[in-house]
Structure 1
Amino acid sequence: MGSGLNLAGGGSLRATLPGVGALMALGWLTYAAAAVALTVYFFRNDSLAQQWGNRLIGAALIVQVLVFGAIFYQMKSPMDINGAINANQHQAFGAWLAKRSDIDPTTLAPQQLQAEGARWLNQNASGLEISFNSNPVELAGILTLIACTAFVALFAWRGKRMLEKLPNLDALDDLTYKTVSVAFPLLLMMLVTGAVWANESWGTYWSWDPKETWALVTWLAYAGYLHTRIVHGWKGRTSAYFAVLGFIFVLFTYLGVSFLLPGLHSYAGVD
């Protein structure tokens, strides 16, 4: 609500943007159809299934770009924000309003909370703004999906040419080792400085919050990669599995934990 009211800390409201949900559903259906086609190609070596799988991946990329464009177009277009906020959110929002007024929401009936939330929105909806700033991880998730889909589509379109231009496997293996060697101490620095920040903010260096825990798991995965590489001399495919596993953990820590596991760093369960 401009600079006058910050709805963070439990008072967040989600508005439904017209048409975006239908485009997202179409996108996931396209992904599912592409997965079926490429699975048939993988097990049966069916060239027709491969062609359709590649086409559907391209179609999914187009749909995702349309989703991204539709979100920002709708955010910038004039709309009835109060009408876009589902009435199911009124009770939780009324409880948040009660807390801001130093009233225990448990002392009020659900109908009172529902009515208070609806009343406030009817009076103040004209001053509300739709923004991605309240949930930047969701925006990052959409952009990550677009980037991954674009990579798969590019590989399907020019896969052989891309493989021909890559360095040999030994050079790639050495590059992965050098990259992890540089990133590993930086990841350790992130854990240490994050713990210091947590102590300043919450009075404890480590609370086994899901984001903290998975950041540690990611660090241990890369520690395992370096240990097996340096001590046991692992190279090639076996060593690469560790690096890929570590990258999967990075993505899960940043995106998966934020939406699937509730915690201090999480968006899971936010009304």
Structure 2
Amino acid sequence: MNPQLVENYLVNISFATLMIALIIYWLNIAFPNLRILAKVGTILTLTINFCLAASLGLRWLENGYFPLSNLYESLIFLTWGLTFTHLILENQNKSKLIGAINIPLSLFLISFTSFVLPVEMKKASPLVPALRSNWLMMHVSIMMISYAILILGSLLSILFLIIYKGNFYQNNSIEKRIGYKNKNQINIGSYATINQMNILERIDNLSYRTIGLGFPLLTIGIIAGAVWANEAWGSYWSWDPKETWALITWLIFAAYLHTRFSKAWEGEKPAILASIGFIVVWICYLGVNFLGKGLHSYGWVS
């Protein structure tokens, strides 16, 4: 069978499975006592992850290079990274919220690659000389995985803010209810308040741990990119738009982790910083390639 046809089938299966998984995870939020839903959601996510990995593997075998040279391939890889990270976090934390926020984003990305990108941008083409290096696999794959982890961590912070602000309008003394500073003085009036406090703390801690995992990978990816840039262009740093925004991304999440580690900020403020990081990651990943040309625009926008 034609490898390209099989690859398309695998991506289409991923799209259909994501639609089903979206319903399952949201039903799991609505009916938390139905444990079968959580198991079904995990199985569906495993299926999606396998199909995306198989499609990338077929593309790798067919073209002879790691499939991260254009927008289509990077979007497929990013979605694979999101579902892979989702599975790891879900296994460690047993949280239904991870799938509830990741699956809609993954579905959007696969929908974009399948229905919006022109056919020409989906086709593999010979690598330009600068990309014919083993650094392609190391640098780009690490950067994409770090993006996936940081995106999920930032989404959890956005979810934290949504719940936090919703509670704020219900009760102006939200800080006392969450109890970040004065837990011993909390006057809890209802079970609902306790539940909201626990949910916020779990989301906040999960976001912190997730971003803490993605940040070292981002650092390694940037360093690997600098070494590759020196090998390809004779300079470790050229202030290319992609390099500049990668540095901005690094600084945003470095500031987030510093405030959390030093306990200078807790609760809302670091969550706002991580939410800004969510936007910056997308600018770094997609925005600079669409808004301006640079040394990193190979195979993206002509």
TM-score, normalised via structure 2 length? 0.42
Pair member with larger Rg:
1
